[in-house]
Amino acid sequence: MKEKIEKLIKTIHDVAPKDRKVKIMNVCGSHEHTITYSGMRSLMPETIELVPGPGCPVCVCSESDIVNAINLSKREDTILATYGDMLRVPTQIGSIRSSGGNYKMVSAPHEVLKIAKENPEKNVVFFSIGFETTTAPTAALIEMGLPKNVTVLTSQKLTPEIMEVLVKDSEVGVDAFVAPGHVSAIVGADAWKIFPKKYGIPTVVAGFEPENLLLAILKILLQIKEGKAELENVYRGVVKQEGNKKAQELMYKYFEKADVNWRGIGYIPKSGLEFRKEYDHINAKKVFNLPEIEEKKVAGCICDKIVLGKAYPTECKLFGKVCTPRSPKGPCMVSLEGACNIWYRFGK
């Protein structure tokens, strides 16, 4: 293994351009974790920049959705159920945990059924956030049939759509993508075809082991050397070209593309999923008539820039001083998938 990795790093050095910078973006918190934890950046040639992008679901969840979730948890007749990472995300009115409402942590959507069964007199609201990897299990939960006392508050985002926004933003200047392994298992490698085809950006689907990520980086650099832009998949054991058709069907049975709000960024057309009209009766936004709440940015927090690949965590003046995983000021410091949290724990 050690020899294989050393050989890959040597070949990356041989192949990397000497006369221009190459900015390779990952869009997955687990990729960023592997890159940072393994010290991969320090092993790269000077011309290669490995930049984290929008790979942390907690970081991009709109403040409006979280404030609404907090307010629901404060109702006497309601229990909010959501993932552990969401509980500590700071907002203008505190976090779900600090607000002292009725909430329960779940690690998978089906746990909501147990909460509903044990609390038949309560409304149970499942706060479902994230990218395709969490939308699909939420759709599967709905397909199982929700008890009458369960509704779903969604804040679901789409990965290919935000990547297209980044490609069009000259301030970001992405040269290549390492496409996310987990999301690709749902949407399929073909979902990223648009990047080489329409925008001339080499894109390689990768898994989470350092060796696999290094291979993806090498494939990208070989394409650049040969003047090509193609879609490649070095995570074939898990990711099929067409993805998980059943999961895709379920997602689009209950949800449809919509303009959604990204924290610190604002509304991006067709960049997320909302319930189809016929499911208003299980859509917590409709059932509880939830308002749109204006975002209040955390002074000094540049999480929005970090998520868009326009800044690194260490460029934030609050990083590691007033903002730490124990006392997060912005969303990127909360989740183990947030770039600030990862860089704080492992260095860059």
Q: What is the binding site for ligand SF4 (CB under 6 A)?
A: 300-303, 306, 313, 316, 318-319, 323, 329-330, 332-333, 340
What tokens does 267 get? 């509304």
Closest residue to bound ligand SF4 by CB: 330
For residue 91, give Cα distances in angstroms to 157, 176, 271, 330, 339: 19, 33, 22, 8, 18
CB of 263 to ligand SF4, least distance (A): 11
Where does residue 256 rank: exposed (0-12), middle (13-18), buried (19+ CB within 10 A)? middle
Residue type present at position 308: L
In this structure, what token pair is assigned to residue 180?
A: 């996310």
| 8 Å CB contact between 219 and 232 | yes
Closest CA to 79 of 109, 105, 108: 105
Instruction: Name the minimum Å distance from CB 297 to ligand SF4.
Output: 10
Write down the least CB distance from residue 73 to ligand SF4, Å.
23
**Closest separation in Å from C-beta 344 to ligand SF4:** 8
- Which CA distances in Å does 83 have to 62, 109, 131, 195, 316? 15, 9, 13, 32, 27
Closer residue to ligand SF4 (CB): 181 or 330 = 330
Fill in the DSSP letter of residue 147. -
CB of 146 to ligand SF4, least distance (A): 34
Q: Which is nearer to ligand SF4, 160 or 330 (CB)?
A: 330
Calpha distance 121→117 (Å, rounded): 9
Q: Which two tokens stand for residue 116?
A: 């509903």
- What is the closest distance, in whole angstroms, from the C-beta atom of residue 181 to ligand SF4 in the complex? 25
Residue 287, Cβ neighbours under 10 Å: how many? 15
Residue showing tokens 């089906």? 110
Least distance (Å) between residue 306 CB and ligand SF4? 6
Q: Decide whether 67 or 303 has the Cβ nearer to ligand SF4.
A: 303
Q: Is the Cβ of residue 29 or residue 330 nearer to ligand SF4 in the bound state? A: 330
Q: Which two tokens stand for residue 17?
A: 């351009």
Please name every residue paired with 258 in a beta bridge, in sequence order, or none if there are none.
Answer: 272
Best CA proximity match to 156, nearest among 236, 49, 276, 243: 276
The per-residue DSSP string of 169-227 comes to: -TTT---EEEE-HHHHHHH-GGGGTHHHHHH---EEE--SSHHHHHHHHHHHHHHHHTT
CA dist 282 and 148 (Å) reads: 9
Q: How far is the CB of 330 from ligand SF4 (least distance, A)?
A: 3
Q: Which is nearer to ligand SF4, 265 or 333 (CB)?
A: 333
Minimum distance, C-beta of residue 325 to ligand SF4, in the bound complex (Å): 10
